[in-house]
Structure 1
Amino acid sequence: MLGILGGTSLLFSTLPDLQKKTVATPYGSAEILCGDIVMLMRHQYGRPPHRINYRANLAAMAIAGVDHIVAFGSSGSLKKEIAPGTLLIPTDYISVTDIPSIHDHKIEHVRPELPQALARKLSAVVPGARLGGVYVQTRGPRIETVAEVAALAKVADVVGMTVASEATLACELGMDFAALCTIDNYANGLGKDVLTFDHILSTSKTYSHRTEEIVNAIIAQMR
């Protein structure tokens, strides 16, 4: 079953008509939207990035029968050539913050890799997307400093606050995972404008119809 994880980039989009359900997991409860697919809004209960219960969210999707996930991630560009409005499918990721794990009571080494086959399939469904690149996760909700952006740009292409945690947990739970990053802004210091959350929301709203079309295409071709 297909699972779609969404956040800021889906705030202004019309979503499929699905039934809301609360799922109890060993890590807490999470709300999912169920039908032929499963959708989960990562900022449910009004949680900012550093308060998201990633373990409950991903466990709820696994319990619901999801075996492959496409996550939408609102991201900032670390490279001038990746302009706001771009769609990017990362093929690797880095985290400079805590990464959650479902393995609390035993030593378990899981090699976290983004399945390339799923990324290529997503690329075929969204032909305008740029396939390849490194996503780096920082600890939100704080926006990165200019110096941090300069350092991160040496090892990554886009920056966000959620996807690396979700990808790791999906891997631990045996679910394939691919992300579609909507580039909503240049990272702090790269653009001319002062970066604010309102600016990010404005870009998400501008591309809401495109996002709706992409969601519908993914549901039609990847479930």
Structure 2
Amino acid sequence: MSGAAETSLAVIGGSGLYDLDGLEIVGEHDIETPWGKPSDPILAGRLSGVRMLFLPRHGKGHRIPPSDLNYRANIAALKMLGATDVLSISACGSFKEELKPGSFVIVDQFIDRTRGRASSFFGPGLVAHVSMAHPVCPRLSELAFETVKEIGVEVAYGGTYLAMEGPQFSSLAESKLYRSWGCDVIGMTAMPEAKLAREAELPYALVAMVTDYDCWHEEVGPVEVHNVLEVLMTNADHARNMLKSLAPKIGPERKACPQGIENVLDFALITAPDARDPAMVEKLRSIASRVL
């Protein structure tokens, strides 16, 4: 690769996606971060020559509910293991008639309605403000979109993801409200995941897999777990096929994100160097060593 940086694509698997077909596993990392342990040991391997890291977001067997996920440990662990990019795959409900169960959406915006989740690595002793105006990497998102189209799955490019707290599904009034806002899909896990990936200077893209119409659709009725399981498993199979086809497109040689996400902390740290808490600085080296 002539000395070029190597791609290390981290895949966060959502509901139904607890393993990665075709991954030539070379190791499993039971890693501890300054924020605790991630949801599960992280698999490391190669797919079509591309270094891959795989983390099942809810743990194998879906043990951890959305509000109890250690989002900071998940992102920090991937960063510590050398991830250069993060592709998040997540089940979701749809607010649009045309976004049918079984289709995919390449999300490009978020509305965060979660409560009480730790949403930043930074805090007292070292304050940072990163921009979330454009929260996903266009290069990674476009590659995912092209790949989903190629494997024959209906897919929309661009859409707003409403992140709700859960674990309960929406009330009808909430569902109608979020539709009136122009949201496209709803889920429980993209926030603060996307915010933390940005703070860790990791280009991030989200492939949302539609399983249901939430509860706004009068002809379909409210969403229930048993109604979405079949769609969930089919979607997960499509996601595995997508990843097999996506790896060669990404390739082993690292390409920078057009937005310069890899350098966002250059403009985000606001605490003066002489006012920084040394303990906080040391803690943050695991995800921000480039600027610390």
Say yes or no: TM over 0.5. yes
From 85, 103, 110, give the equivalent of 2:130: 110
Decide which moves more: 15-24 or 72-81: 15-24
**Residue-by-residue CA offset, 1:91-117 (whole Å, 9 max, x unaligned):** 111111135111123221111222223
State the alpha-carbon separation in 1 of the partners of residues 59 and 235 from structure 2: 22
From 89, 95, 107, give the equivalent of 1:90: 107
The letter for the 1-side match of 2:55 is: L
Decide which moves more: 54-63 or 16-25: 16-25
The letter for the 1-side match of 2:74 is: N
Q: Which residue of 1 aligns with 2:15?
A: 8
Residue 17 of structure 1: how far off its partner (Å): 4.3
From 41, 52, 72, give the equivalent of 2:89: 72
Aligned residues: 223
Does residue 1:120 correspond to 2:142, yes or no? Answer: yes
Larger Rg computed on CA atoms = 2
**Residue-by-residue CA offset, 1:37-77 (whole Å, 9 max, x unaligned):** 10111101711111100000000000011111111010000
Distance 1:13 1:59, change over 3 A: closer
Alignment RMSD (CA, Å): 1.8
Q: Which residue of 1 aligns with 2:52?
A: 37
Q: Which residue of 1 aligns with 2:32?
A: 24
Residue 167 of structure 1: how far off its partner (Å): 0.8
Decide which moves more: 13-22 or 142-151: 13-22
Q: Which residue of 1 aligns with 2:229?
A: 201
State the alpha-carbon separation in 1 of the partners of residues 21 and 83 from structure 2: 22
Does residue 1:130 correspond to 2:159, yes or no? Answer: no
Residue 119 of structure 1: how far off its partner (Å): 1.5
The question of whether the paired residues in 2 share the 8 Å contact of 1:12 and 1:204 is answered with no
Distance 1:17 1:142, change over 3 A: farther
Residue 15 of structure 1: how far off its partner (Å): 6.1
Q: Which residue of 2 aligns with 1:164?
A: 191
Distance 1:195 1:58, change over 3 A: same
Unaligned ranges ≥5, structure 1: none
Residue 12 of structure 1: how far off its partner (Å): 8.0
Decide which moves more: 195-204 or 61-70: 195-204
Q: Which residue of 2 aligns with 1:101?
A: 120
Distance 1:207 1:114, change over 3 A: closer
TM-score by length of 2: 0.72
TM-score by length of 1: 0.92
The question of whether the paired residues in 2 share the 8 Å contact of 1:5 and 1:72 is answered with yes
The question of whether the paired residues in 2 share the 8 Å contact of 1:136 and 1:164 is answered with no
Distance 1:207 1:216, change over 3 A: same
The question of whether the paired residues in 2 share the 8 Å contact of 1:7 and 1:72 is answered with yes
Decide which moves more: 127-136 or 201-210: 201-210
Distance 1:164 1:148, change over 3 A: same
Higher strand proportion, which one?
A: 1
The letter for the 2-side match of 1:27 is: W
The letter for the 2-side match of 1:111 is: S
Residue 130 of structure 1: how far off its partner (Å): 1.0
From 165, 182, 185, give the equivalent of 1:139: 165
